């Protein structure tokens, strides 16, 4: 299945119902996915959460309406904003100028990608991996409101190196390497991003930790293109490894699935592996494990 087609269908649904009280559940039902998996795919492909996209699209429509003789408050109410001041605040945050200065301050947004990752990304390795146990710390979040990669690729900005040290000091894992994995929460748009290490058992787990057993699965393993990560993340406008992770995820859903014989196995867990290869290096990389299954023949 081409996952970008799912996004195209969902966006068409959003556009056709943009003046209604749209819910993530309605859109997920329309494309035939669970809320969790739909939100995940939407975020990775569009680099926006579902609600961000709806808000941005409503603002873009509202902006076009402002070129007519309509009052700002009328346009605001038409596209779901309760007050003119709230609309103006959102409008300025989105476009960088107020509604009243729209005509003279028209600017085009820059949607240029950092690079064409498909030209440098190596083909994935297809492997079978046995089940394994994870223990670590989790961030509970609403993936309809918060971008997945903002949590997964920037975990250090949430807790820092001390949390990583605590994992190794407390759990004494047999092998170095941190795992980042999203776990759905009760079939809703809520989820947990677990930052963990592989353990042989849960004997050393403390009460503030979360545990999960990852079932055996077949994976497509992608290694991100190497980036110079010698400086700390504070030296960059954007962390280069994080960009590489985001662009790899985007490629997986927008290109790779569309041309391979596999589809994602939604009964299993995709996860990210951060090991010694992604520490300060001129060629820092990490691995993304995507559970797959043979695509059903039509």
Co-location of 160 and 237 in the same domain = yes
175: its two tokens: 């092998």
Q: How far is CA 28 from CA 6, 36, 49, 84, in A?
A: 10, 9, 13, 31
47: left (phi over 0), alpha (psi -120 to 50) or beta: left
Same domain, 150 and 246: yes
* Positions of the chain with pLDDT lower than 70, given as ranges: 1, 67-69, 96-97, 101-115, 143-162, 185-190, 231-238, 297-298
Last residue of a domain, one of 63, 81, 105: 105
> Do 256 and 190 share a structural domain?
yes
Question: Does a structural domain hold residue 127?
Answer: yes
What sign has the CA pseudo-torsion 209, 163, 40, 218?
A: negative
Residues in the chain: 298
What CATH number does the domain containing 186 carry? 3.20.80.10
Identify the pLDDT of residue 110. 34
- Confirm whether pTM is higher than 0.95: no
Quote the tokens at residue 206: 């403390």
Q: Is residue 262 part of a domain?
A: yes
Task: For residues 95 and 47, state if they share a domain.
Answer: yes
Distance in angstroms (rounded) separating the CA atoms of residues 98 and 89: 8
CB 153 within 8 A of CB 242: yes
Q: Identify the domain containing residue 74 by its residue range.
A: 3-105
Residues 86 and 170 in one domain: no
Pair (146, 12) in one structural domain = no
Q: What is the pLDDT of residue 87?
A: 87
Nearest to 39 by CA among 192, 180, 143, 139: 143
Residue 233's pLDDT is: 45
Residue 111 lies in a domain: no
Q: List residues bridging with 223 in a β-sheet.
A: 287
Claim to verify: residue 100 and residue 122 sit in the same structural domain: no
Are 96 and 123 within one domain? Answer: no
Q: Domain check: are 22 and 48 in the same one?
A: yes
Residues 25 and 143 placed together within one structural domain of the fold? no
Domain annotation covers residue 112: no
160: left (phi over 0), alpha (psi -120 to 50) or beta: left
Q: Are 188 and 287 contained in the same domain?
A: yes
CATH of residue 24:
1.10.10.60
Any domain includes 271: yes
Considering the domain architecture, whether residues 60 and 150 belong to the same structural domain is answered as no
In a domain, 59, yes or no: yes
Q: What is residue 146's predicted lDDT score, i.e. its pLDDT? A: 59
CB of 250 within 8 A of CB of 111?
Answer: no
If one counts the domains in the chain, the total is 2
Q: Which residue, of 105, 125, 147, is where some domain finishes? A: 105
Are the beta carbons of 44 and 69 closer than 8 angstroms?
no
Domain finish residue from 71, 105, 139: 105
| Domain-located, residue 241 | yes
Does 168 map to a domain?
yes
């Amino acid at each position: 299945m081409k996952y970008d087609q799912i996004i195209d269908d969902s966006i068409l649904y959003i556009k056709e119902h943009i003046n209604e009280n749209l819910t993530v559940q309605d859109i997920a039902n329309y494309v035939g996915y669970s809320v969790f998996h739909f939100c995940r795919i939407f975020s990775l492909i569009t680099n926006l959460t579902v609600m961000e996209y709806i808000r941005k699209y409503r603002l873009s429509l509202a902006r076009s309406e402002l070129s007519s003789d309509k009052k700002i408050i009328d346009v605001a109410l038409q596209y779901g904003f309760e007050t003119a001041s709230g609309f103006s605040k959102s409008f300025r945050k989105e476009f960088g100028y107020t509604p009243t200065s729209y005509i003279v301050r028209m600017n085009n947004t820059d949607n240029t990608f950092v690079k064409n990752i498909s030209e440098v990304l190596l083909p994935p390795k297809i492997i079978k991996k046995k089940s394994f146990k994870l223990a670590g710390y989790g961030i509970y979040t609403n993936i309809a409101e918060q971008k997945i990669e903002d949590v997964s690729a920037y975990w250090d900005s949430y807790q820092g190196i001390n949390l990583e040290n605590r994992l190794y000091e407390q759990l004494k894992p047999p092998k170095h390497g941190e795992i980042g994995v999203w776990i759905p929460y009760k079939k809703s748009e809520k989820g947990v991003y677990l930052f963990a290490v592989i353990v042989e058992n849960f004997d050393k787990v403390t009460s503030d930790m979360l545990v999960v057993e990852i079932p055996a699965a077949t994976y497509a393993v992608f290694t991100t293109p190497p980036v110079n990560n010698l400086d700390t993340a504070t030296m960059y406008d954007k962390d280069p490894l994080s960009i590489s992770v985001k662009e790899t995820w985007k490629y997986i859903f927008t290109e790779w699935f569309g041309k391979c014989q596999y589809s994602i196995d939604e009964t299993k867990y995709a996860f990210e592996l951060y090991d010694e290869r992604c520490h300060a290096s001129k060629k820092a990389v990490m691995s993304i494990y995507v559970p797959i299954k043979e695509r059903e023949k039509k």
